[in-house]
Chain A
Amino acid sequence: MNTQEQISRLPFTDAILIKKAKKKWTIPVIMALSLLLITVFVLSLNLGRYGIPLHQIVSVFADKIFGLPISYPKTLDAVLFNIRIPRILTAILVGWALAASGAAYQGLFKNPMVSPDILGASAGSGFGAAIAILLSFSTVEIQASAFLFGLLAVFLSYSLSRTIGKNSDMVLILVLTGMVVETLFSSLTSVTKYVADPDSKLPEITFWLMGSLSKILGMTDVIKLLIPVVIGTVPLLLFRWQLNVLSFGEEEAKALGIDTRKVRLIVILSSTLLTASAISVSGMVGWIGLVVPHIARMIVGPDYRKLMPVSMLIGGIFLLMTDDVARTALAIEIPLGILTALIGAPFFLILLLKGKKGWI
């Protein structure tokens, strides 16, 4: 018997069990999600205490685009362009950024259980931003401070896990060291609150910490967020094949020809920039970075070529819808961070319970 026959007779599982791989519906998925995002965007325009009927929204845009004389009340213009659209765009960007950084961290640390929250990036960024608010820094300075402390936190979690872990269960140890770092920065944030002026700074920091987009006023706020989000997004999209390979571990990625030091550094910087810029605008909004990549993985599988853009889109849609609930469900606004946790935690539990092997 020749070897060809022998090899093909390897006692492998029945061919009947062969699973159909994810079909080539990536492009339709991305298009469907983009359409959904646009739909939710338009519907969100209409939601709010100052209700704007859809036909009026259409005529406002028609007037703007075709330069027609203004046929609608001035308040409507102000609500739409100074409050509602900026807030909607911010919600999309924050969700986009947190989901993208979560997906990237998961591949980079070959660990499906990490997210900006678990690595301490959120807590670090939160502390950086809280200090900057305390010191009455400008928006850009708040972002920079959040970025630096977020980076410090990720670096701490990761290097601690490397030191402690050596060759043992890195997945678990990184989660544990992340918890330690998260706790450390959360308590530092509490210290910031403790010393803050109880009449002005304390409420500001407290509300910001609970997570809210209600402070977004005007398009300049959106642009200040858009710039770092674009800077963080581009490398993650460029390196998405490399992220696939990196999720097999540092040594295999090297053996496959990846300059792991360079790619790792760029991916960490980009994801932490995304987390920090989102957090410094929205406050502590958790769970997105953990839950959304898992949802995306359920739809398109683990291949980052598809996973990254799909995570970004789902993140945007998810947070926009959550923010819609936050600002319309009750007479007062519900803090966004509380809502994402209320939705995210049970949702993640369901994922774990129904989870497919290899996803957890």
Chain B
Amino acid sequence: MRLEVKDAACGYGLKTVIQGISFDISSGDILCLLGPNGVGKTTFFKTLLGFLKLKSGEIRLNDRDIKTFSQKERARSIGYVPQAHTPPFPFTVLQVVLMGRTAHLGSFASPSRKDVNLADETLEMLGISFLRDRIYTEISGGERQMVLIARALTQQPEVLVMDEPTSNLDFGNQIRVLNRIRQLAASGLGVVMTSHFPDHAFLCASKVALMQRSNVFKYGTVDEVVTEENLRSAYGVDVRITSTNDGENGILKACIPVMTA
């Protein structure tokens, strides 16, 4: 799998929100998109997922222009994990996960026994089988996030696009979800995710794209991009990056903001 974004410009209607996005990822890569609120991360995601038209530039998946994908083809290649939310109807977790099979079904078809088995396997793989028959609207935010990941995985995509997969999760669940994302990438998926925490890039990303206002776009390895200088210019806060050698776990890096008063 290879996803290439070349000088992409994205926006709504006539307005261009962000431009000059370029990166490429292959199987096993985790690209972490960082950047302040309102910089256009969501707009870019919407473009990548086909909700918005690409203004200029090019997005290619496996050397094929993504514009030529039908909605169904795109869904078979790109799985989307939105931020956990509450839908209006009390579907069971299994029903929600089964929705991931939609792109593999005929227009008028409903999921079959085979699809149910696949959904069960995914729940098993993520260690959340016990949620299977629970009501999706009644489980916790962390559980819902896992269910949405399960749903995206039953799409059997090559790329997983995750919109702030750690938002609204407690500290422990954040780390568990990030760990899970690393495992998924290790199993051959490409992952594009957004985060508000540069630390998350240190924890799991192989590549980082830092979006800033006035269309400054920095892209590279974690160590290249997540620097004190770059974070200061992107977020406008003073940050120190520290590292310790933990021996067993190698070099661990973290960002520590410096308070002004």
Name A's B-contacting residues (CB within 8 A): 3-4, 6-8, 10-13, 15, 18-22, 107, 110-112, 171, 238-242, 244-245, 247-249, 251-252, 254-260, 297, 301-303, 305, 356-359
Contacts and interface: CB of A to CB of B under 8 A. Distances in A.
14 contacts: A7-B179, A247-B88, A248-B99, A251-B51, A255-B50, A255-B78, A256-B155, A257-B76, A259-B70, A259-B72, A356-B90, A358-B86, A358-B138, A359-B90
B99 A255 contact: no
Given A19-B134, A257-B155, 11 more contacts: A7-B126, A11-B173, A21-B135, A107-B89, A242-B102, A251-B51, A251-B82, A255-B50, A256-B103, A257-B102, A302-B95
A251 B133 contact: no
A6 B179 CA distance: 10
Contacts of B71: 254, 257-260
Interface string B115-153: 000000000001110111111011110110010000100
Contacts of A107: 89
The 3 closest A-B pairs by CB, nearest first: A257-B103, A257-B75, A302-B89
B180 A3 contact: yes
Contacts of B173: 10-11
A21 B92 contact: yes
Given A254-B51, A259-B72, A303-B95, A357 B82 contact: no
Given A12-B143, A245-B102, A301 B108 contact: no
Interface string B81-118: 01000111111101100011011110111110000000
Interface residues of B, number: 59
Nearest to B126: A7
Contacts of B74: 257
Contacts of B80: 252, 255-256
B143 to A, nearest CB: 5
B203 interface: no
A303 B91 contact: yes
Contacts of A242: 102, 107
Contacts of B51: 251, 254-255
Given A7-B176, A251-B51, A256 B90 contact: no
A357 B137 contact: yes
Contacts of B138: 19, 357-358
B17 interface: no
A12 B93 CA distance: 14
Contacts of A297: 89
B139 A3 contact: no
A34 to B, nearest CB: 20
Nearest to B95: A303
B16 interface: no
